[in-house]
């Protein structure tokens, strides 16, 4: 099923400058793999080379952090809102 993924300003250039994109999948992992397939510039920013969620990116489904749900196996359904946010760190 197609779901809408919201992208922050930092990731938009890799997706053609758009605020939201549509991706297919029934889990967060499927959605992110399809998203990276359609927008290869997002690959290193969202998933690691081994296909895991990059440690400096946060993914939310309906405002819930997938790290506290089922991570990449978190199911998505029609109408879910997915947001990708890079972590901000500094010192």
Closest CA to 30 of 59, 64, 10, 56: 59
Residue pLDDT, tens place only, 47-61: 998 989 988 899 999
Nearest to 48 by CA among 36, 38, 65, 39: 36
CATH of domain 2-86: 3.10.20.30
For CA atoms 85, 58, 41, 37, the dihedral sign is negative
Average of per-residue pLDDT across 28-45: 94
Structure tokens at 49: 């080379």
Percent of the chain with pLDDT over 90: 79
pLDDT of residue 44: 87
Give the span between the Cα atoms of 58 and 77, in whole angstroms: 19
Percentage of the chain with pLDDT > 70?
A: 97
Q: What are the pLDDT digits (tens) for 68-87?
A: 999 999 999 988 999 999 88
Write the burial class of residue 73 (CB in 10 Å: 0-12 exposed, 13-18 middle, 19+ buried): exposed
């Amino acid at each position: 099923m197609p779901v809408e993924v919201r992208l922050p300003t930092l990731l938009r250039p890799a997706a053609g400058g758009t605020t939201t994109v549509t991706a297919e999948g029934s889990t967060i992992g499927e959605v992110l793999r399809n998203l990276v397939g359609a927008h290869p510039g997002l690959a290193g920013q969202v998933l690691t080379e081994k296909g895991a969620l990059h440690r400096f990116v946060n993914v939310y489904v309906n405002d819930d952090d997938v790290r506290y749900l089922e991570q990449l196996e978190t199911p998505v359904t029609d109408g879910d809102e997915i947001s990708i946010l890079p972590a901000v760190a500094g010192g």
